[in-house]
Structures are given as structure tokens and as C-alpha cells.
Structure 1
Amino acid sequence: MPKSRTVTITRAGFLHGMRETLPLLPGLTVFGMAFGAAAAQKGFSLFEAALSSALVFAGLAQMVALEGWTRTWTPAGLLALGLLTFTINMRHLLMAAAMRPWLGALPPWQSYPSLLLLADNNWASSMRYYAQGGNDAGYFIGSGVITWALWLVSTAAGQIIGGGLPDPKAVAIDLVVPAFFVAMLVPNWRGRREVVGWGVAAAVSVGVSFVLPGWWFIIIGALSGAIAGGFADD
């Protein structure tokens, strides 16, 4: 693979990225509707739920934050929620860094706004496209735009439908987050070496959930798994 390439942004690359993302859209639609339905149960209006997805555009963080949403906030509660969402989205730091050899060749006014479209699905497909020799950044932008648009539309649809659900658990909406996490983990399995980090993270998370209230088990479990995985790595 060459160390440097001429990076372009073309309409053909944009449409290519959109087409490559289409097979991932059904799962994303279900997830977006689940968030919209859960938002309706928390009292969010259609405008508020849609605005959240349009501006935040962070599905897992939005869903987890919604689980702890309350009408009355304290400084400690806000700090805990901020730390939780930061921990969940911290993976984006590494994801964005991995794209620097590609997008770093673009002017800052093009590369940095493009990263606002960064999501798990379009990052994975875009990195595969780049590894195969692609250099058109329009691919990443196109896949990100269609992901953002569908996330927004499915959130709105879920809010409209979910407002009539008496109990989200009755239709298994509460299972969407763990199912999505599992779906994200499986493609990242690289062999038995992963057992150490993943195993420590799972064991610590479960243990902490019985000891500390709230969402601290996510933060502590993630940090424990990362540290254990770092020692296990060559």
C-alpha cells in the first residue's frame, strides 16, 4: 500500500459510499426506532427526539443516556452522565485517528466537518474501502450522510409509534442496546487474545453492577478491560 495518495471528493465516491451502506440500513432503522420509542416513553416530544438524533448522532450514547434520564438533575448526576457518555464515545478518538492517513490529506475545512458523520458502521466500511486501495473521501461522506439521515428519520418514526406503547419492555426495546453491542463486538474478534480484555471487562462490569448503583459498571468495566487487554497485547 503506498504511503501517500491523492485524496479526492467526488460525486461518484459519494454515491458509492451510499450504495455500500444500504445492507446495513435495516438494523440501523430498528435501532433508531427503538431510541425514538424509548424517548417517547421518557416524555420527549417528536421535535426533541429528532433534534437529539440530528445534533448528537451517537446512537449508543444516546440510548444509554436516555436510560438514566430524569426530570430533575443534580450537578453530580450531570457529571456522571457526562462521564458515562464520554466513556462510551471514547472509541471515536481511536476511530478518527485511524482515518488520519486518509482524511489528513484533505484541507482542514473539509476533513474536520466530515468527521461529524463518523459512526461505527460507516467507519468500518470506509476503512475497508481505504485498505482495498480506495482514496475518494466522498465514500466516507456519502455513507455518513445516509446513515445520519436514516438515523434521524427512524428516530422520528419510533417516537411517533412508541408514544402509544404502554411498556417498552413488552416489545423488548430494552434488549436493543445489549444486542447492538454484541453485534459490534463479534466482527472485532481477532482470536483467543481477545479473551483477556473482553473477559475482564465482562466480569468486572457484572460485579460492579451489584455493588455500585447507576452506570458506573460501564465505565469501570471498560477501563478494566482496556488495561487487561493492554497487558495481554504484544
Structure 2
Amino acid sequence: MTSTAAPFTRAGILRGVRLSLPIWPSIAVFGAAYGAAAAQRGLSLAEATAMSAFVYAGASQMVTLEVWGRPWTLSALLAAMTVTALINARMILMGATIQPWMRGSPPWRTALSLFVLVDASWLIGVRHRAEGGNDLGVLVGAGAGLWPLWVLSTAGGHFAGALVSEPRVYALDMIMPVFFAAMLAPLWRGVRPALPWLVSGAVALVVQHVVPGYGFIAAGALAGLVTGALVDDGAAR
């Protein structure tokens, strides 16, 4: 590790795991729902769990199942690639926000950090930094702690079939939104810094209602990016 690299400690990793605990029930139900859906689509247990282990991207995994087909055709493959790219486009901005934090880290640590980067771990890490922390282990621990749960719940869902395919029955689908709201609230710095988020959400909602498919994800991300650039430019002037 170079002298400019952020610290990466065992205590930070454990703290990241601990901070992710509130959303474990939601992740378990989501993973089980994915496993059940994968079984219904004809994926074997090995295929479903391998996708969770190596892709580790719940939203894109679930959405890709909607265009899953056997035998694969070129159009179906292109559709799956497009949907996955749209869903995961947000990772470009998420990665950009943590790049200064990871600057100076050895390649293996950077690769590990990015592999386990998910929405929840990113948010936990961003809040840790906003509160004055600098231990990269918090970011890695939050994502790494969720990884085995995601894989195991996928396997459990595959075995259980459709038993937990509808998390709304248990109201467990609300854990994730509540967790994100609670984590974001302390980061509030006024209306101006929040404008990109507000515009992004509003545009995504409008596009979702008027345009079929998953274009609302790209539209929301682009609107937030443009708004952020305009807000920063106005602040600089």
C-alpha cells in the first residue's frame, strides 16, 4: 500500500458488515425471489447460484430473467445485454464518486472494492466518508457481507420455488426503501445539492409512465448528470 492510499482495516470491514445488517432480511427475500424466478425460467440450481456469485447484481439479474430465452437468439441476447447495460449504468456514476477514495490503493484492493460494490454498500460508504471516515474497509465490508447472503438466499429460493416470490405479502419489500431513506437523510445539505437527485427521480417517474421498457433508468441518470453539471457550473460562477 502506498502512503496516499486510504486505510483498509479489519475493524472497517467489520463495521461495514454491521452497518449492512438492517437490510439483510430484504436482501434474503430478494435473493430468494430471484432464485424462485430463475427456477421457473428453467435455470438449474448451479446456473442460478453461479449468476448470483459472479454477477452479484440483483436488479439486473431479475430484469434479465424477463428476456431470458432458450434457445438463445441474437435478438434475445441483444435485448438482455441492453437491459443489463441500462440497469447497471448507474454504476458508472457510483464508481466515479468513490474513485478519489480508492486512489492509491493496490489493484487487487480496487478490484475487490468494485466487485462487491452494490447500491447499499455504496450508500454506506458515502455516508461514512461524509461523516469524516476514510476507512475503505467499510465500503468493502458492507458489500462483502451481503454477497454470501445473496448467493445462499438464491439457492434457498430455487429450492423453495414460488414461496417467497411476492415479498409484498410479508411487507419485507419495504425494508430496502426505509433503509435508504434513513441513510440518505443525514446527507441532506439543502435543496441545491439535492437538485440532481430530485430531477433524476422526477424524470425517471415521468418516463416510466409514458415510455414502455427500462428507458426510464437511463433517462433519470442522464437528467441527474446534466443537472449536477449545471448546478456545479452555477456554483463555480
Normalising to structure 1: TM-score of the pair? 0.79
Stretch of structure 1 that moved more, 42-51 or 196-205: 196-205
The 5 Å alignment of 1:14-53 reads 14-53=13-52
Q: Secondary structure at the match of 1:70?
A: coil
* 5+ long unaligned stretches in structure 1: 210-214
Distance in 2 (alpha carbons) for counterparts of 1:17 and 1:180: 18
CA contact (8 A) 1:14 1:143 kept: yes
Q: Quickly say closer, same or farther: Cα 1:81–1:156, change in 2 above 3 A.
A: same
State the aligned residue count. Answer: 218
State the partner residue of 1:108: 107
Structure 1 vs Structure 2 CA RMSD: 3.1
Distance in 1 (alpha carbons) for counterparts of 2:84 and 2:184: 21
Which of 209, 212, 222 does residue 217 from structure 2 map onto?
Answer: 222
* 5+ long unaligned stretches in structure 2: 232-237
Q: Quickly say closer, same or farther: Cα 1:188–1:77, change in 2 above 3 A.
A: farther
CA shift, 1:23, in A, is 1.1
State the partner residue of 1:87: 86
Q: Give the counterpart letter for 1:200 in structure 2.
A: V
Distance in 1 (alpha carbons) for counterparts of 2:78 and 2:176: 24
Distance in 1 (alpha carbons) for counterparts of 2:119 and 2:11: 22
CA shift, 1:153, in A, is 0.8
Q: Give the counterpart letter for 1:106 in structure 2.
A: S
Distance in 1 (alpha carbons) for counterparts of 2:61 and 2:16: 25
Q: Give the counterpart letter for 1:58 in structure 2.
A: A
Stretch of structure 1 that moved more, 140-149 or 86-95: 140-149
Distance in 2 (alpha carbons) for counterparts of 1:184 and 1:90: 22
Per-residue CA deviation, residues 12-71 of structure 1 (Å, 9 max, x unaligned), is: 111111111111111111111110111111111211111110000000000000122111
State the partner residue of 1:207: 210
Q: Secondary structure at the match of 1:99?
A: helix
CA shift, 1:202, in A, is 2.6
The 5 Å alignment of 1:43-192 reads 43-162=42-161
Distance in 2 (alpha carbons) for counterparts of 1:116 and 1:130: 20
CA contact (8 A) 1:6 1:135 kept: no
CA contact (8 A) 1:8 1:135 kept: yes
Per-residue CA deviation, residues 178-234 of structure 1 (Å, 9 max, x unaligned), is: x7996698676976955654333333333222xxxxx3xx12x33444455536953
CA contact (8 A) 2:68 2:76 kept: no
State the partner residue of 1:212: none
Distance in 2 (alpha carbons) for counterparts of 1:30 and 1:134: 31
Q: Give the counterpart letter for 1:204 in structure 2.
A: V
